[in-house]
Structure 1
Amino acid sequence: MTDQPHAIAPHMWEKLGPGDAEAAISAPSLTYWQDARRRLWANKPAVIALGFIIALILGAIFGPLFSPFSYFEQNLKLANIPPAFETYAIDDGQGGATRFFLNASNFNLYEVDAEGHVLGLIRGGRKDMMKKAQPFTFGDTDISLDYSSLPPRIVSVDGDTITPSGWSWNRTYLFGTDQLGRDVLVRQLYGARISLTVAFVATLVNFFIGIFYGGLSGYIGGKTDAVMMRIVEIISTIPLTLYVVLLMVVFDSGLYSIIIAIGSVFWVDMARIVRGQILSLKSQDYVAAARTMGAGTSRILTKHLLPNSIGPIIVTLTMLIPSAIFIESFMSFIGLGVTPPLASWGTLTSEAVETMRAYPHQLFFPAAAISLTMFAFNFLGDGLRDALDPRFRK
């Protein structure tokens, strides 16, 4: 009985010329990591997610440096301005036109230029509370803001409704302003800094504590493994919210309490996963050979077991990062996270919920940032899982 030749894909063959003596396989020889990178680049959702994460990191670090506003600077005259608005053009009687937009939620008029830059709040005359109207004068032209019915409308002296000239983007505040007149975009970028800081801390904790704790537990085994896993179970049974509240009794409420809480308990899931990987690998022949040659526990873990478990570790690490970001956002949302005037995606969402119906843009941007970031890390984790799985190697 003869051995059957291995099946080779047709595209791996080169056509022989008249003078060629032997066949040659045209496919290049790839290492494990080169093949994993090739499969990762072929996964379009993972590549897009990776690009989004890189752009988010660069925007969080360098974005606020290019903005003329700070995350705490307030301007109550320009509060609750939307990122886009309908503009009006009124002839001022001097050969020019005054452009403005109406904020239907607070019945204010704001002057803008032709490009959409917000110039300031327009002061009108005394409000007529009986007729629910307020007069405005632009040169020789008089108009009135009628808010007797919703939505409010701009009317001329004759009572005719003035129609807007078109939509314009807010070039001064790209994401609009909040209830205190602070730039939402800059506060979004500062919120990204806090979320990425939490993600960085979670990564370090999982790497230095979870991986080596789980590796030692799985490799040593026996009673040591039983005691170490009971410690993990005790830590995992404590609710994180209660843990943060207890930490706030010792430390002040803020970002440090969240970081300490995540750093104290977030490594238990990674420890369990690494322990399972080590239990399945420590019975392999190369581990027995290393032990026979006199290799110690630390060398076997760092040189043999953990490198062969790096695929599941990276995938798990990528999946746990969005969980850490969501925990920080949730804690800040319920008031256990960062304190004002610091900006976090959780605090931005909490502040925007109160004015959600009147100013939905204030809730949309932080909610979208949280959702897109979690989607990006999940897509990247799925791509890494497929790329690092040796069963998919060709």
Structure 2
Amino acid sequence: MTRPAIAPEMWQPLDPETRDDPVPATAARGFWAGVRGRLFRHRPAMAGLVFIVLLILAAVFGPMMSPYSYFEQELELSNLPPVYRPYLVGEESLVHVNTSNLNLYEVSEDGGLTAMLRPDRQDVLNRKKIWEIEGHEVVLDFSQRPAILTIDDETAQAGGLTLNTRNPFGTDQLGRDVLVRQMYGARISLLVAAAAVLANFVIGVVYGGVSGLIGGRVDAVMMRFVEIVATIPLTLYVILMMVVLQSGLLSVVLAIGTVYWVDMARVVRGQILTLKNQDYVAAARTMGATTSHILFRHLLPNAFGPILVTLTMLIPSAIFIESFMSFIGLGVTPPQASWGTLTSEAVETLRAYPHQLFFPAVAISLTMLAFNFLGDGLRDALDPRLSS
């Protein structure tokens, strides 16, 4: 039986007007397009991503735009609140009374606390401070708590809440602007996060990939080393770094950079052990591909999803570790500011000035939540079983 000859006309494209199915086929949606679509629909993850972007912008450009530096001290303006209630003296003068340190401050036209007003005289026996402002006698009676402010022998009435425009986050016990120190602390935290990312990508991914791909005795020896490193507390690493180097941020960054990759190595090893028996790996070996080519061109790209999710989960942990080290005095040294040092300094004045603890604590909490939300969103978006 002979086959019929294939005429060249049979290979000509069909006319769209005469074909039976005029509906064109839709283009297949790529994997990363689906990931992007699922991630954009994940509201907590997008909120976390927006917060992280804003945090980076504030850390990079915020201190440049501020008129203050993180170390500039002005003791007369120490422990100023972010919001306060002004008192009207006479027709125009506004003052603020800090009942914690028993000082009177001048209020500018735009609402900023600009200077401390020194009392004209003091009655030590009766525990009073007296000022003469525009012909009015202003008396602060601190013989009882809370202190009472009187103007011309009449109890002064405070106005509504006003924002301290000069120092929106207030000042600390040395008169330093809390806002610029907060943004400088974000720089420290992001630097630690960058060190954790670099360590996980350069050391953790390669180490775990090599261990999982080679297997056998090499894998056993490499994993025993990982277990030894994981059993030593990170605090001890920081102390050892401080013995070799001077105390400060460098010790914390080096400690995190040298030992923080062990969890990533375990995750990558598990992924490689699962993927290395796939058919495309066997085909690559048959075609003569080298071990490094298989690892970096075939296995690690296919394990990128779990690597990325693990990375976003490890970053907030690294930021919290740096804050804890700075809180106990093993991190950055004064006058440098980090969220941990700001928290440590605020604890000393917690009862009198609780707002100084509020801002760094909220910054740490929101940053950790933002990275965790982003990690959850990436985990769901990178799941191939989910359809968009």
TM bin (shorter chain): over 0.9
Residue matched to 1:57: 56
Residue matched to 2:112: 117
- Post-superposition shift, 1:166? 1.8
Residue matched to 2:288: 294
Establish whether residue 219 from structure 1 lines up as the match of residue 217 from structure 2. Answer: no
Residue matched to 1:128: 123
SS at match of 2:165: coil
Deviation digits for residues 340-363 of structure 1, max 9, x if unmatched?
Answer: 000010001001100011011111
Q: Is the 8 Å Cα contact of residues 72 and 341 (structure 1) preserved in structure 2?
A: yes
- Post-superposition shift, 1:147? 1.3
- Post-superposition shift, 1:119? 2.0
- Post-superposition shift, 1:177? 0.2
- Post-superposition shift, 1:25? 7.7
Of 340, 346, 349, which residue of structure 2 is paired with 1:346? Answer: 340
SS at match of 2:374: helix
* Counterpart amino acid of residue 336 in structure 2: L
Residue matched to 1:317: 311
Q: Are the structure 2 counterparts of residues 289 and 119 from structure 1 closer, same or farther at C-alpha, using a change threshold of 3 Å? A: same
How does 1:259-278 map onto structure 2 within 5 Å?
Answer: 259-278=253-272
Establish whether residue 308 from structure 1 lines up as the match of residue 307 from structure 2. Answer: no
Q: Is the 8 Å Cα contact of residues 248 and 331 (structure 2) preserved in structure 1?
A: yes
Establish whether residue 41 from structure 1 lines up as the match of residue 40 from structure 2. Answer: yes
The alignment of Structure 1 onto Structure 2 pairs a total of residues equal to 371
Residue matched to 1:246: 240
Q: Which one is further off, 315-324 or 142-151?
A: 142-151
Establish whether residue 80 from structure 1 lines up as the match of residue 71 from structure 2. Answer: no
Identity across matched positions, percent: 61
- Post-superposition shift, 1:146? 1.2
Deviation digits for residues 280-304 of structure 1, max 9, x if unmatched?
Answer: 0000000000011100110001111
Deviation digits for residues 6-40 of structure 1, max 9, x if unmatched?
Answer: xxxxxxxxxxxxx9953748865311001100000
Q: Are the structure 2 counterparts of residues 189 and 280 from structure 1 closer, same or farther at C-alpha, using a change threshold of 3 Å? A: same
Return 5+ residue gaps in structure 1 as ranges. Answer: 1-18
Residue matched to 1:141: 136
Establish whether residue 336 from structure 1 lines up as the match of residue 330 from structure 2. Answer: yes
Deviation digits for residues 142-181 of structure 1, max 9, x if unmatched?
Answer: 12011122221211333x2110122210000010000000
SS at match of 2:255: helix
TM-score, with structure 1 as normaliser? 0.92
- Post-superposition shift, 1:127? 2.2
Residue matched to 1:197: 191
- Post-superposition shift, 1:186? 0.4
CA distance in 2, matches of 1:125, 1:199: 52
SS at match of 1:166: coil
Q: Is the 8 Å Cα contact of residues 89 and 151 (structure 2) preserved in structure 1?
A: no
CA distance in 2, matches of 1:126, 1:162: 19
Residue matched to 1:12: none
Residue matched to 1:6: none
Residue matched to 1:390: 384
SS at match of 2:349: coil
Residue matched to 2:349: 355
Q: Are the structure 2 counterparts of residues 290 and 347 from structure 1 closer, same or farther at C-alpha, using a change threshold of 3 Å? A: same
Of 95, 99, 102, which residue of structure 2 is paired with 1:104? Answer: 99
Residue matched to 2:15: none
CA distance in 1, matches of 2:25, 2:346: 59
CA distance in 2, matches of 1:224, 1:173: 58
Residue matched to 1:152: 147
Establish whether residue 181 from structure 1 lines up as the match of residue 175 from structure 2. Answer: yes
CA distance in 1, matches of 2:199, 2:261: 6
SS at match of 2:85: strand
CA distance in 1, matches of 2:46, 2:25: 27
Establish whether residue 168 from structure 1 lines up as the match of residue 134 from structure 2. Answer: no
Deviation digits for residues 239-267 of structure 1, max 9, x if unmatched?
Answer: 11111111111110001100110011100
- Post-superposition shift, 1:78? 0.1
Residue matched to 1:5: none
Deviation digits for residues 299-337 of structure 1, max 9, x if unmatched?
Answer: 001111000000000000000000110010000000000
- Post-superposition shift, 1:123? 1.2
CA distance in 2, matches of 1:44, 1:27: 28
SS at match of 1:120: strand
Root mean square deviation of aligned Cα? 1.4
* Counterpart amino acid of residue 159 in structure 2: S
Q: Which one is further off, 116-125 or 167-176?
A: 116-125
Residue matched to 1:69: 68
Q: Which one is further off, 383-392 or 20-29?
A: 20-29
* Counterpart amino acid of residue 103 in structure 1: N
TM-score, with structure 2 as normaliser? 0.93
Q: Is the 8 Å Cα contact of residues 87 and 165 (structure 1) preserved in structure 2?
A: yes
CA distance in 2, matches of 1:134, 1:325: 46
Residue matched to 2:201: 207
- Post-superposition shift, 1:124? 1.1
* Counterpart amino acid of residue 61 in structure 1: V
SS at match of 1:392: coil
